[in-house]
């Protein structure tokens, strides 16, 4: 009896008797829909719907943007545009740092080849050895970034510039 | 007594099915599990290096850089343990890197294909070369990632790219009758500026619903019926769960890049005509030098074969191959048949050229 129960609990599906009928119907529908979405009429209809929706919400969006901007100004907080502009500047800075990073790599490599660098012999290993970086990464990723020996140097250069 | 037991068993079985169905639809499967290290980052982009699992003496000399589309997560390349392209390639001695573009925010709405192909990509490549200690490398681009890698390969043929693999590459938009997206984005019907004015970027939900609308019955109904029918098979359920986790994790596309994709590629078809101008440089496909493998999925409804086939005639590469495979846009790399068909072919092709 328990065997019967186990078997039943694994396989019982109330929709089973309708499965073949369902599949036949869905196949036919799928073909018809693929043909429908491939027509000019469908493209025109969806385009018109999207345009209608976006045109309809535009005045509300504009009003909301204006009132939000005023509120933020009154609270002496930066606007979305200002924060976005700041983020863009950060990215530009990141790019400059990345270029400096690469140039330092090239200088180190050159010094190693000439045997004149203070880190000659270890530079390449340092360049290839990732250093953990806090605040990033998931369960199976170790967050690493620039070679450990180089980062303090970049920071020193930046702080000197600021002074 | 027996009918009563049978009925309670049936109810318990049905309840179990419902629980499994609910779990799969409402939870996230653990995907992208292959161990990796973050080696470089710029803005939202991150470059990962997968930890080697084979002896260094058995490793291929050239690193392999994977570039996926800019409006989807790249975790599809590393879907789940035992069914991951990344894991497969790492296990065969490749030094694998993955460039994850990240999700663009409002502040990234001005990012163009130019920025991706000539600012982010070359920097990531520079890092790959520095870490690997080699001047040459291989690169795999999939979908929009294939557009970016093609642009890079044509504009920077002397920067060390030895092997270029393009998967379902949407490069030729001339056959408008076969490309449903081209029909939908026709300038008479589709107002790209209205969308970008409203949202800045192309919202993830709109990209997702657009892709699903290509095959609405399959994506909105049949897909779930298949899950329901196979709820007793844990392998199918876990596979479906992992794929659903990836499919539902969508990201927006940077506004300016989306505008370029629609206007300059879908409408004006500039890339294959060698008329696309990126950062003031004309993209001439005849300048491509890298060994080229183009993989086409014959059942691909997002990027039909006609969009990738013509590249071979245009590319300047001497060593070029077109490989056709059954399957869809995603299924050809992430489907159950991929480990037996697509992956071995890619690995064999690359292995012969990675020494």
Question: Are B328 and B301 in contact, with CB atoms under 8 Å apart?
Answer: yes
Residues 144-163 of B with CB under 8 A from A: none
Task: Give yes or no for B249 touching A (CB within 8 A).
Answer: no
The predicted pLDDT at position A147 comes to 40
Three-state secondary-structure class, residue A33: helix
At A143, which helix (H) or strand (E)?
A: strand A141-143
The predicted pLDDT at position A131 comes to 40
Residues 208-237 of B with CB under 8 A from A: 213-218, 221-222, 225, 228-229, 232
Task: Give yes or no for A140 touching B (CB within 8 A).
Answer: yes
- Measured in degrees and rounded to the nearest 5, phi and psi for residue B105 equal -100, -175
pLDDT band at residue A8 using 50, 70 and 90 as cut-offs: very low
Question: Are A1 and B2 in contact, with CB atoms under 8 Å apart?
Answer: yes
> How far does CA A6 lie from the centroid of its chain?
46
- The alpha-carbon gap from B18 to the nearest alpha carbon of chain A, in Å, equals 10
Is B300 one of the annotated active-site residues of the chain?
Answer: yes
The predicted pLDDT at position A113 comes to 85
The predicted pLDDT at position B235 comes to 93
**CA distance linking residue A141 with residue B77, whole number of Å:** 16
CA-closest candidate to residue B41, choices B86, B97, B101: B101
**CA distance linking residue B344 with residue B297, whole number of Å:** 15
Residue B47 tokens read as 């470059």
CA-closest candidate to residue B147, choices B307, B256, B268: B307
Torsion angle of alpha carbons A19, A20, A25, A28, nearest 10°?
A: 130
Percent of chain A as helix, strand, coil, to the nearest 5: 75, 5, 25
Task: Give yes or no for B37 touching A (CB within 8 A).
Answer: yes
Is the Cβ pair B43, A91 closer than 8 Å? yes
- The alpha-carbon gap from B184 to the nearest alpha carbon of chain A, in Å, equals 5
Nearest to A88 among B1, B107, B183 (CB): B107
**CA distance linking residue B280 with residue B117, whole number of Å:** 13
Percentage of chain A beyond pLDDT 70 is: 63
Comparing A39-48, A122-131, B10-19, which segment has the lowest mean pLDDT? A122-131
**Who has greater pLDDT, B52 or A148?**
B52
Torsional sign, CA A49, A50, A55, A59: positive
**CA distance linking residue B126 with residue B299, whole number of Å:** 36
Rounded mean pLDDT for each run of 10 residues along chain B, 355 residues in total = 67 87 95 97 98 92 97 96 97 97 96 97 97 96 98 97 98 91 94 95 96 95 94 94 95 98 97 97 97 96 95 96 95 94 97 89
Task: Provide the pairing of β-strand B161-167 with B137-142.
Answer: parallel
The predicted pLDDT at position A12 comes to 66
Nearest to A137 among B2, B38, B106 (CB): B38
At B3, which helix (H) or strand (E)?
A: helix B2-26
Instruction: With a cut of 50, say whether residue A128 has pLDDT above it.
Output: no
Average pLDDT over residues A77-85: 95
The predicted pLDDT at position A19 comes to 87
Residues 41-60 of A with CB under 8 A from B: 42-44, 46-48, 50-51, 54-55, 57-58
Instruction: With a cut of 50, say whether residue A149 has pLDDT above it.
Output: no
Is B83 one of the annotated active-site residues of the chain?
Answer: no
**Who has greater pLDDT, B63 or A108?**
B63
Q: 């794929």: which residue's tokens?
A: B243
Q: List the single best residue of B96, B123, B130 to mutate versus A (max A Cβ within 10 A).
A: B130
Instruction: With a cut of 70, say whether residue A138 has pLDDT above it.
Output: no
For chain B, helix (H) and strand (E) counts, in that order, are 15, 10
The predicted pLDDT at position B8 comes to 74
The predicted pLDDT at position B3 comes to 64
CA-closest candidate to residue B274, choices B263, B261, B262, B287: B287
Instruction: With a cut of 50, say whether residue A160 has pLDDT above it.
Output: no
Is the Cβ pair A9, B16 closer than 8 Å? yes
Q: For the whole prediction, is pTM greater than 0.90?
A: no
**Who has greater pLDDT, B37 or A9?**
B37
Task: Give yes or no for B13 touching A (CB within 8 A).
Answer: yes
Q: Which residue in chain B is spatially nearest to A58 when comparing CA positions? A: B198
Nearest to B106 among A84, A94, A130 (CB): A84
ipTM: 0.85
The predicted pLDDT at position B194 comes to 95
**Who has greater pLDDT, A17 or A147?**
A17
């Amino acid at each position: 009896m328990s065997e019967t129960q186990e078997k039943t609990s694994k396989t019982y599906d109330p929709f089973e008797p309708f499965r073949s009928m369902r599949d036949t119907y869905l196949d036919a529908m799928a073909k018809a829909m693929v043909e429908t979405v491939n027509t000019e009429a469908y493209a025109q209809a969806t385009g018109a719907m999207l345009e209608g929706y976006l045109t309809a919400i535009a005045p509300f969006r504009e009003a909301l943007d204006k009132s939000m901007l005023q509120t933020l100004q009154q609270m002496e907080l930066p606007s979305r545009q200002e924060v976005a502009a700041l983020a863009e500047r950060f990215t530009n800075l990141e790019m400059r740092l990345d270029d400096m990073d690469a140039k330092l790599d090239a200088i180190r490599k050159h010094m190693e080849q000439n045997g004149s660098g203070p880190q000659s012999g270890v530079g390449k290993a340092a360049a290839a050895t990732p250093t953990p970086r806090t605040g990033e990464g998931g369960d199976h990723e170790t967050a690493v970034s620039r070679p450990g020996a180089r980062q303090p140097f970049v920071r020193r250069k930046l702080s000197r510039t600021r002074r | 007594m027996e009918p009563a037991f049978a009925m309670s068993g049936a109810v318990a079985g049905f309840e179990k099915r419902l629980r499994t169905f609910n779990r799969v639809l409402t939870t996230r499967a653990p995907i992208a599990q292959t161990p990796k290290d973050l080696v470089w980052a710029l803005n939202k982009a991150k470059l990962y290096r997968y930890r080697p699992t084979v002896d260094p003496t058995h490793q291929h000399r050239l690193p392999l850089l994977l570039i996926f589309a800019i409006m989807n997560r790249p975790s599809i390349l590393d879907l789940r343990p035992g069914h991951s392209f990344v894991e497969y390639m790492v296990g065969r001695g490749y030094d694998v890197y993955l460039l994850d573009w990240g999700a663009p925010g409002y502040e990234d709405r001005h990012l163009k294909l130019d920025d991706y192909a000539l600012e982010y990509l070359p920097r990531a490549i520079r890092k790959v070369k520095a870490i690997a200690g080699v001047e040459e490398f291989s690169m795999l681009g999939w979908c929009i990632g294939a557009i970016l890698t093609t642009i890079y390969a044509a504009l920077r043929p002397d920067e060390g790219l030895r092997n270029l693999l393009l998967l379902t590459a949407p490069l030729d938009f001339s056959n408008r009758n076969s490309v449903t997206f081209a029909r939908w984005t026709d300038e008479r019907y589709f107002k790209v500026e209205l969308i970008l004015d409203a949202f800045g970027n192309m919202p993830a939900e709109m990209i997702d619903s657009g892709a699903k609308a290509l095959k609405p019955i399959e994506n909105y109904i049949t897909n779930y019926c298949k899950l329901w029918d196979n709820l007793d098979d844990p392998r199918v359920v876990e596979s479906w769960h992992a794929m659903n986790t990836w499919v539902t994790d969508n990201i927006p596309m940077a506004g300016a890049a989306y505008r370029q994709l629609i206007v300059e590629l879908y409408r004006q078809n500039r890339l294959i005509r060698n008329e696309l101008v990126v950062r003031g440089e004309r993209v001439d496909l005849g300048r491509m030098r890298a060994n080229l493998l183009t993989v086409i999925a014959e059942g691909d409804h997002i990027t039909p074969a006609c969009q990738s086939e013509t590249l071979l005639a245009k590319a300047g590469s001497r060593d070029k191959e077109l490989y056709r495979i059954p399957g869809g846009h995603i299924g050809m790399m992430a489907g159950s048949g991929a480990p037996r068909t697509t992956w071995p072919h890619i690995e064999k092709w690359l292995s012969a050229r990675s020494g």
